[in-house]
Structure 1
Amino acid sequence: MYQYTPFDQSFVRSRAAQFRNQLERWQAGKLSEDDFRPLRLQNGWYVQRHAPMLRVAVPYGELSSAQLRMLARIARDYDAPEAEVYRVASEAQRKLGTARLPTHYAHFTTRTNVQFNWIPLAKAADVMDLLASVDMHGIQTSGNCIRNISCDERAGVAPDEIADPRPFAEIMRQWTTLHPEFAFLPRKFKIAITGASDDRAATDWHDVGLRLLRNETGELGFRVTVGGGMGRTPMIGTVLRAFLPWRQIMNYIEAVVRVYNQYGRRDNKYKARIKILVKAEGQRYIDDVDEEFRQIVEHDGGPHTIPQAELDRVSACFVPPHGPGAETAVDLEATATRQAAAIATPQFGRWLERNVAAHKHPSLRIVTLSFKRLLQAPGDASADQLDRLADLVDRFSAGEARVTHTQNVVLPWVHVNDLLPLWQAAHDVGLASANVNLLTDMIACPGGDFCALANARSIPVAQAITERYQDLDELNDIGETDLHISGCINSCGHHHSGHIGILGVDKDGKEWYQVTLGGSDGMHASGRAQPGKVIGPSFSALEVPDVIDALLSAYLDLRATRDDKHESFIDTVRRAGIEPFRAAADRVRSHAENAA
């Protein structure tokens, strides 16, 4: 993992001290609410439906065990609302039929940040000091700036990797932090980077998507896409450069953002994202970026060209860790015990198949711990779970974990000898669900239970579907199916990219849900990234699980089989089209209308 330099540490701690001063001035009435609002947002503090929400940056998804323990401490000691706030929120949730309001929790987001939903603003400065003590902060997790840079959770360890993207992500993090030209953009701006052939970072869905590759002469560079995004207008990024030499990547991003900063709309926030500019201007935007890039390189001397020495310096922070690593030989007795356990304990066998992936080094494995289970919202992690996770990370993964795009946690340095004891330890703390990439490994935003922007709740729908599909044999027969749920059109739950997408909508003050089919984030076996298509009018919350059931039944009837291998859900939708699935969903609606 990257280790903060003394400068990094001083910067983050001074920023925490600055925020404390701002908070105290606001509390004393020396700063108005309008003056304080942008200051708290610049440090990741929102005010949501019932209470403040803190968004903590997790650059390219990496967390140390010490940071996990600090997040656990914050969840346990600070993530609890004042009594009156909790009473009002509980009453509101009771009327909506929500069973409980989780406090003392952290929430992993689809951009690999961590959020807390119940920390009172009066305690905000104390929390920022604690985060700074473990090299964490909330800087640029909000506002119209370049946000937290996301990455492939298997960076540096995946067998399909062309080059490790983390050094580039770290160089970009340092460069974009408080960059004056990028601090007040027309709208928020998100960058994703991967170095693998399988796009686990969903780069095509980002404002800027970067994929490392080598050209025909073996030189390393980037494929650059611009203008991807979800929200009200889902778009896949446009390729601006099929190959850009790696040294020039920051000069080129500077050109991309300068043109956006100059011409992006500021009069309408719904049309302010760079994707709108790219679509509206087309080739003109590309030509302007190319000209700006030429000026930066030729006239200004390429001030942001990455020197080899700088790449080497940062890359040295990402060498494989000591501890459970390559020097430990594969134990034949442990292998035999593991194989016997996989046969004797089907849950373990399923876990090996679903949650364990190959590693660059033959004696190591990449292990995903699933946080998707009954009575726990996707992405939520309790204080106790975070503490236990930190113990697992220390014991089995050299003190390092990665947050995933799908709201789980990866242990990137697990020795093959430790797979059985890791599973046993994870099972004891409820983190051994063997459902990775299956239907119940769903993505969901916090929705209307917490977010003031949401039209409908996401969590109860996710729980109802999870409860219905608890049979692992059934889930494995259905196969890899990405289910994504958003509580509003902002698409924090990435419903556009789900094989099945669910969007909460408001209809006459009531919660309804629109269903899309055929979306893809470009990861796994899904192939190209693309938005899903709406299959018809919206459904009530009670109808949604039946709709999912109908869609999956239609898939089981339609899928092709070759050499005892079933066609995947997404491939069946692409081959058969959405009409037979729409018909299946319509039968659910008709049945509900007749019953009413």
Structure 2
Amino acid sequence: MYQYTDFDRQFVRQRAAQFRDQLERWQAGKLADHEFLPLRLQNGWYVQRYAPMLRVAVPYGELASRQLRVLARIAREYDEPEAAVYKQAMETQGLLGTVNLPTHYAHFTTRQNVQYNWIPLAKSADVMDLLASVDMHGIQTSGNCIRNITSDERAGIAVDEAVDPRPYAEIMRQWSTLHPEFAFLPRKFKIAITGAAEDRAATGWHDVGLRVLKNDAGEVGFQVRVGGGMGRTPMVGVVLREFLPWQQIMNYLEAVVRVYNRWGRRDNKYKARIKILVKAEGQTYIDEVEKEFREIVELDGGPHTIPQAEFDRVAACFVPPVLPERAYDAAKTEAALAAHTAAEPMFGRWLQRNVALHKNAALRAVTLSFKRRLQAPGDADANQVDTIADLADRFSAGEVRVTHDQNVLLPWVHADDLFALWQAAREAGFASANVHLLTDMIACPGGDFCALANARSIPIAEAITERYQDLDELDDLGEIDLHISGCINSCGHHHSGHIGILGVDKDGKEWYQVTLAGSDGSDLSGPAQAGKAVGPSFSAAEVPDVIEAVLGTYREQRQPAPGGRWETFIDTLRRVGHDPFKTAANGARHKADEEVAA
């Protein structure tokens, strides 16, 4: 992990002190609401449907156990609304006297951040001080600026990785933080980076998507995509450079963002993202970027060219941790795992679904699943966050990674510790063997918390999870990406789901549009692409039946695949086309209508 220097630490703590001063001046009436608004947003403080929301940056998804414990403390001590606010929220949602909206929770997002939904603004400065004490902050997790840079959760350890992207991500983080020219862009700006063959960072769906790779000569460089994004007009980024020497990446990004800052629309926020500019201008935009890049390098002397010494300094932070010396006998380990599997079949399922190979043959990367009944995807209460920290200390050199799929990954697990880890994870409720299966879904907080949402996401996720509890059935269905968003802003990435669910408003009521055949690019059998709607929207009560009908059609249409498996859901969709699935989905609606009429 990157180790903060004295300068880094002083910078973050001064920022927290500045925020405390801004908060106190606002509370004293010396700052008007409209003056305080951009200041709190620049530090990650939103005001949502019922209460403030804090978004904490987790650069490229890496967290230390000491940071997790502070995140748990914040959830335990600060994530609690005033009684009147909570009662209002419960009444509005029709939950008063039935169930409770979760408090004392941290929420892991699809962009590798952590969010809190109930912290009062009066306590916000205390929270920022706590974050700064462990080298964390909320800087640029909001606002029209360059946001948290995300990456592959297996960066540095993946067997399919050509180059570790984390040193580059860290250098870019430092370049983009409080960049004076890019503090007020036309709209928010998101960068993702990967160095692996499989795109686990969904780079095609970002404003800038970077793949660090090696050419035939062994030189390191970047493939640069620009103009990806979801929302009202989903687009996959286009390639501007197939191979850019790594030393020039920040000069090139400077050109990309500078041209966007100059020509991006500011008159309409729905058309302000860089994807709109790239689509509208096409080759003209690309030519402008190349011209700007030449001027930066030739006239300005390439001020952001990465020196080898600086790269080496940062890269030295990303060497494998020092682990206790242990003998490793692959054959003996495999025999022991087989014996444990024979005694505990669920352990075998977990090995298959939640454990990935590692660059170091003696180690494994293990995903702790947050997906379970009666808990929203990505949510973890304070005790659970502390437990994750304990598991990280015991099994993973004190380090975890936040995944794009709203889970947590332990990157440094010794193969001989897998059974002990499974037992500990099972006791903590993190051993669901469902990674990449239907119930390992992505979902935004939706209308339960977000003021922008048209509909609730969490009850839909819960209804589908409740219906599909049989692991044999889930395993038979195979890998399926199910993504749920409460509105067109697509925080749940519904466009990229094999099955996408979008909350829409119809006459003040919650309805849901279902899309099929999307991809985030992590599917090796196809590129990133947006799903297509199967027809008019469905009521909340109809959605589980629609999903069941779609999956039933998959079972009817799928073909055998090598290795005794079935063809995957997405491969069947691509081969057969939408029509049979669309017919099945709308048939489920008519069946529901007939049952209501009866």
The two structures have a TM-score, normalised by structure 1, of: 0.98
Moved more, 481-490 or 345-354: 345-354
Q: Map 1:264-303; keep pairs closer than 5 Å.
A: 264-303=264-303
Task: Note the alpha carbon deviations across 1:210-265, whole angstroms, 9 max, x for none.
Answer: 00111222211000000000000000001000110100000000000010000000
Q: Which runs of 5+ in 1 are unaligned?
A: none
Take 2:334 and 2:498, find their aligned partners in 1: how far apart are those partners? Answer: 37
Partner of 1:590: 590
Check conservation: 1:72, 1:382, Cα contact below 8 A: yes
User: What residue identity is the alignment partner of 1:468?
Assistant: R
Offset, 1:268? 0.2
Please tell me whether residue 308 in structure 1 is matched to residue 308 in structure 2: yes
Take 1:277 and 1:96, find their aligned partners in 2: how far apart are those partners? Answer: 46
Offset, 1:323? 2.1
Q: Map 1:92-111; keep pairs closer than 5 Å.
A: 92-94=92-94, 99-111=99-111
Q: Structure 1 residues 525 and 473 mapped into 2: Cα distance closer, same or farther (>3 Å)?
A: farther
Take 1:267 and 1:197, find their aligned partners in 2: how far apart are those partners? Answer: 39
Take 1:335 and 1:111, find their aligned partners in 2: how far apart are those partners? Answer: 35
Task: Note the alpha carbon deviations across 1:40-61, whole angstroms, 9 max, x for none.
Answer: 0000000000100000000000
Partner of 2:155: 155
User: What residue identity is the alignment partner of 1:518?
Assistant: A
Q: Structure 1 residues 245 and 407 mapped into 2: Cα distance closer, same or farther (>3 Å)?
A: same
- Structure 1 residue matching 2:301: 3-state secondary structure: coil
User: What residue identity is the alignment partner of 1:443?
Assistant: I
Moved more, 559-568 or 38-47: 559-568
User: What residue identity is the alignment partner of 1:64?
Assistant: A
User: What residue identity is the alignment partner of 2:300?
Assistant: D
Take 1:159 and 1:592, find their aligned partners in 2: how far apart are those partners? Answer: 47
Q: Structure 1 residues 269 and 500 mapped into 2: Cα distance closer, same or farther (>3 Å)?
A: same
The two structures have a TM-score, normalised by structure 2, of: 0.98
User: What residue identity is the alignment partner of 2:472?
Assistant: D
Check conservation: 2:163, 2:214, Cα contact below 8 A: no
Take 1:102 and 1:95, find their aligned partners in 2: how far apart are those partners? Answer: 12
Take 2:569 and 2:96, find their aligned partners in 1: how far apart are those partners? Answer: 33
Partner of 2:517: 518
Partner of 1:174: 174
Check conservation: 1:503, 1:513, Cα contact below 8 A: yes
User: What residue identity is the alignment partner of 1:457?
Assistant: R
Offset, 1:525? 3.8
Check conservation: 1:517, 1:532, Cα contact below 8 A: yes
User: What residue identity is the alignment partner of 1:519?
Assistant: G
Q: Structure 1 residues 576 and 335 mapped into 2: Cα distance closer, same or farther (>3 Å)?
A: closer
Check conservation: 1:357, 1:367, Cα contact below 8 A: yes
Task: Note the alpha carbon deviations across 1:104-135, whole angstroms, 9 max, x for none.
Answer: 00000000000000001110000000000000
Moved more, 354-363 or 81-90: 81-90
Q: Structure 1 residues 97 and 504 mapped into 2: Cα distance closer, same or farther (>3 Å)?
A: farther
- Structure 2 residue matching 1:169: 3-state secondary structure: helix
User: What residue identity is the alignment partner of 1:415?
Assistant: H
Take 1:114 and 1:305, find their aligned partners in 2: how far apart are those partners? Answer: 32
Partner of 2:441: 442
Q: Structure 1 residues 328 and 46 mapped into 2: Cα distance closer, same or farther (>3 Å)?
A: farther
Task: Note the alpha carbon deviations across 1:257-315, whole angstroms, 9 max, x for none.
Answer: 01000000000000000000000000000000000000001111111011111111100
Q: Structure 1 residues 582 and 38 mapped into 2: Cα distance closer, same or farther (>3 Å)?
A: same
Give the RMSD, CA atoms, in angstroms: 1.2
- The number of aligned residues is 595
- Structure 1 residue matching 2:401: 3-state secondary structure: strand
Q: Structure 1 residues 525 and 24 mapped into 2: Cα distance closer, same or farther (>3 Å)?
A: same
Task: Note the alpha carbon deviations across 1:298-349, whole angstroms, 9 max, x for none.
Answer: 1111110111111111000001001257x54248766544321212212111
Take 1:419 and 1:214, find their aligned partners in 2: how far apart are those partners? Answer: 33
Q: Map 1:101-140; keep pairs closer than 5 Å.
A: 101-140=101-140
Partner of 1:146: 146
Task: Note the alpha carbon deviations across 1:549-571, whole angstroms, 9 max, x for none.
Answer: 00000000000113422110001
**Identical aligned pairs, as a percentage?**
75
User: What residue identity is the alignment partner of 2:387?
Assistant: R
Check conservation: 1:324, 1:397, Cα contact below 8 A: no
Offset, 1:595? 2.6
Partner of 1:530: 529
Offset, 1:100? 2.2
Please tell me whether residue 432 in structure 1 is matched to residue 431 in structure 2: yes
Check conservation: 1:324, 1:398, Cα contact below 8 A: no
Partner of 1:384: 383
Partner of 2:547: 548
Take 1:547 and 1:562, find their aligned partners in 2: how far apart are those partners? Answer: 26
Q: Map 1:333-412; keep pairs closer than 5 Å.
A: 335-412=334-411
Take 1:24 and 1:126, find their aligned partners in 2: how far apart are those partners? Answer: 12
Take 1:573 and 1:97, find their aligned partners in 2: how far apart are those partners? Answer: 43
Offset, 1:410? 0.5
- Structure 1 residue matching 2:322: 3-state secondary structure: coil
- Structure 2 residue matching 1:94: 3-state secondary structure: coil
